[in-house]
Structure 1
Amino acid sequence: MLIAKRPQRTLARAAEVRGVGFFHGADVTMRFLPADPDTGVRFIRTDLPDRPSVAARVSQVIPTQRRTAVQDGPAVVELIEHVMAALAGLQIDNCLIEIDAPECPGCDGSSRVFVETLDAAGVVDQDRPRQTLTIERSFTVREGDAVLAAHPNATDGLTLSYHLDYGQDSPIGNQSFLLSLSPESFRSEVAASRTFLLEHEAKSLRAAGIGLRATEKDVLLFGPDGVVGNTLRFPDECARHKVLDMIGDLALLGMDLHGFVVAHRSGHHANASLVRKLLQSIEKEKEKEADPWAPPLPLRSDGTIDIQGILEILPHRYPMLLLDRVLELQAGRRVVGLKNVSFNEPFFQGHWPGRPIMPGVLIIEAMAQAAGILIASSVNRSGRAAVIASIDDVKLRRPVVPGDQLRIEIVAHKIKTTSASVTGVAKVGDALAAQAKIRFVMIDAPAA
């Protein structure tokens, strides 16, 4: 489900980082620049003719070993995961990055230098919402012994877990790390964790001409007896760095992610594969919900829907039709409806003689009918009906009596082809009469 949880953010001013590329050994200067809303993150190769650029999106990822790289024509930028992790961890959504080499500077093998630089530049909110993908079902990527899975989360936000296990003979012992991601937790628990490799792997890379300028002080190098020429910042620093890499690679989704991502021995390739699966799920959902044959809603010229239009949309009839007019409609987002409560309502005969009060359950039913209009604005209503599946957090605040005009306001949480959930309130004047959260399932039914 796609929702908007917060405003987009960019840098308050430009910032610069200088360093050496770990793989190619070139001197690198990176300039981080503010960018307009919806720009995303884009790398600009200032060392190439015409300054070609490449977006930091999974569609631009190219196969590389031990790092994440993106390419668009002549513009290739490698080792982007630590930069992307810093931007995502600090919730910086729009940024232009000028770079004069084919890879990002390695710095100390972590995101710490980037975080310090970006923090010094400052961050500002923008007047556009940031899209968030909330995971509603599980997705799994398997690559040999490696497993990466994304599940729905019990709370808002992104939680990441990594279990590192290279076997009994590895100098790197088994480690696990769990993180609830926020800018604060990223700074304190993840940003300083450094990239790592085994001593014999480093020798093989150097023999191939890779990493010639990187030293034991730049990365965590593990020999048979443990770390060589360096000290750990955290006992589980390797697992923490794997989570850092996950954050950077998941940022290639191009939106925030809410869910619980669990990894076992996975790496950059699996991370990118998961992002592709998530994007494919969004496209499939859009295809299901995009129906060119859905009949238009019977809106009047002023944007309202009268009783005749309501009868076209809802299957309810006397005495159970409890909505008289739709005053406002923002398709798929919000609806405001009206119920005129008359003494002639049939339920007043028994509820109660001498003291007529509208039953609370019928107030909730009126809210559900208004929600039905909202659902019909997003999905094809032909041959389908929204049926209440659950009602939660119900509160009845004041009696509704003959002569009252019930104003019903419904806000959508999610509307899909198979289900929907909303929050609603009913008011008499400015006084709250009732409120509830209502969940629906879609069933086959005759058209209204």
Structure 2
Amino acid sequence: MGKLQQTILSEVSLAGVGVHTGNQTTMTFKPAPAGSGIRFVRVDLPGRPEVPALIGNVVETARGTTIGVPGPDGQTVKVHTVEHVLASLAALEIDNARIELDNNEPPIGDGSALPFYGKLKQAGLAEQDEPRKYFSLPQVVSVADGSIQLVANPNDCLRISFTIDFDHQVLKSQYASFEIGRETFEKELAASRTFCLARDVEQLRAQGLIKGGSLETAVVIGEKGIENKEPLRFPDEFVRHKILDLLGDLTLLGMPLRAHVISIKSGHRSNVKLVQELRKVYDDIERQKQGPVFDINAISQIMPHRYPFLLVDRILELEEGRRVVGIKNVTVNEPFFQGHFPGRPVFPGVLIIEALAQTGGFMILHSIENREQTLLFFAAIDKVRFRKPVVPGDQLRFELSMISFKRGICKMDGKAYVDGQVVCEAELTAAMVNR
């Protein structure tokens, strides 16, 4: 039998100031039922709103990860800087916990995860009746933004490898790689502290950040060395803390991940993008277990196109009149590869646009009654960008959202992805006409 879910045995509390808001907060960890996940609870607000620690609830990533949900007054109920808490929970394999706060940010403590990890160890662990649900990554997932790169490779456990490289005479390049587990986290990662460059302090304060920051809550790096009285806890403490942060962000996937995650210079913004792509892969797999929403035969009953010009293989998601997701598997047998280009086959960009349009057209035609008497013609194509060539072996994922649909004219925002990266995007306008 596999591992069972865990919660904590007893409730524990700690108090202090939040590093960015400067607010005084008391935070209490409480046991939670199996299957409930990690939930932050704002007990200072009417109704005690809960904010589940899930990737879909991320609202900000400026120097920390903030999650939030809509409140009854229309304002977002936020919990700032959750990554150190989540990393501690992940390291101890705690699946379910209720975390009550009387303000909007966990205490920063000494800038490391030790305060949270220590309290959770003190609380003890309790096995529950439901098995842990792991996500064993079946394929490579990557995100990139300039020199920032993140790649998740299939692996039989969670390993994080990280490279930092700052243009600074004290803080230069560092690399570390750890297989994530309780013992490794406790000995090698939990004590590593958050850090910032002294030259960035005033700019961060001007942005309304680090109101609770000090030499007791972070390592400050000056031009000649660190400005703290306490020496570094590890020679490579900075890259270790980046691994800690990334572990916390990965916890927003909602289940333990089995993969080797390799980061070059990533921060919370790019970490969150990777988790979003990982979640898409997981959700697609779960949907495929239940069978596709519409296979090629069902698509052919809605769309007038036929081989070789039917360019959508499957519809994975359909929110009637609002959003659609489809895929096309690109094979070397596509007829246009004979001439585009001999020796270097590249999927024509105009056909990516056509495939996007067909996916959106499926959403439109599926929503109307007289689809047999209706055709859709292009009326406009705007804001087109091609980001990366598509080649045989790729799987194109099309995501379209309806912008407007009035008097037979529909406008959609469309993006095409390969391995989580945007390869094409456009705004498409189509007109409905009688056959």
If the TM-score is normalised by the length of the shorter chain, which range does it land in? 0.5 to 0.7
What is the 5 A alignment of 1:129-208? 129-153=131-155, 156-167=156-167, 169-208=168-207
- Partner of residue 56, structure 1: 53
Alignment of structure 1 residues 256-295 onto 2, 5 Å: 256-291=256-291
1:282 shift after superposition:
1.8
Residue 53 of structure 1 deviates from its aligned partner by 1.1
- Change beyond 3 A, Cα 1:289–1:52: closer
In structure 2, relative to structure 1, the CA distance for the partners of 1:228 and 1:12 (3 Å cut) is same
Match of 1:87 among 86, 89, 102: 89
Query: Is 1:10 equivalent to 2:7 in the alignment?
Result: yes
1:39-438 alignment runs, 5 A limit? 39-74=36-71, 75-153=77-155, 156-167=156-167, 169-230=168-229, 231-291=231-291
Using the TM superposition, give the Cα deviation of residue 110 of structure 1 relative to its aligned residue in structure 2, in angstroms.
0.8
Partner-residue secondary structure (3-state), 2:134: strand
TM-score by length of structure 2 reads 0.64
Matched residue, 2:19? 22
Measure, in 2, the Cα distance between the counterparts of 1:189 and 1:199. 25
Runs of 4+ in 1 over 4 A off after TM superposition: none
CA distance in 2, matches of 1:246, 1:208: 23
Whether the aligned pair in 2 keeps the contact of 1:32 and 1:97 (CA below 8 Å) is: yes
Once the two structures are TM-superposed, the CA of residue 59 in structure 1 deviates from its matched residue by 0.4
Which 10-residue stretch deviates more, 245-254 or 281-290? 281-290
CA displacement at 1:152 relative to structure 2: 1.4
State the identity %: 38
Distance of 2:114 and 2:200 partners within structure 1: 24
Residues 5 and 131 in structure 1, CA contact (< 8 A), matched pair in contact too: no
| Separation (CA, whole Å) in 2 of partners of 1:253 and 1:282 | 9
**How big is each residue's C-alpha offset from its partner over 1:50-88, in whole Å with a ceiling of 9 and x where there is no partner?**
111110000000123110011112321000000000000
Q: Which amino acid is 1:68 matched to?
A: T
Q: How many Å separate the matches in 2 of 1:182 and 1:211?
A: 30
SS at match of 2:7: strand
- Return the alpha-carbon distance in structure 2 between the equivalents of residues 179 and 197 of structure 1: 23
Q: Cα distance 1:292–1:233, how it changes in 2: closer, same or farther (>3 A)?
A: closer
Asked if 2 retains the 8 angstrom alpha-carbon contact of 1:16 and 1:32, the reply is yes
Q: 1: CA distance between counterparts of 2:219 and 2:15? A: 21
CA separation in 1, counterparts of 2:119 and 2:17?
16
Unaligned runs of 5+ in 1: 294-448
CA contact (8 A) 2:61 2:268 kept: no
Q: Mark the CA change 1:117 to 1:181 in structure 2 (over 3 Å): closer, same or farther.
A: same
Is the 2:161–2:176 Cα contact (8 Å) retained in structure 1?
yes
Report if the CA contact (8 A) 1:40-1:94 is conserved. Answer: yes
- Measured in 2, the distance between the counterparts of 1:15 and 1:245 equals 23
Is the Cα contact below 8 Å between 1:28 and 1:101 reproduced in 2?
yes
Number of residue equivalences: 288
Q: TM-score with structure 1 length normalisation? A: 0.62
Question: Quick one: distance in 2 between partners of 1:279 and 1:207?
Answer: 34
Contact 1:5-1:132 at 8 Å conserved across structures: no
Equivalent position SS for 1:215: coil
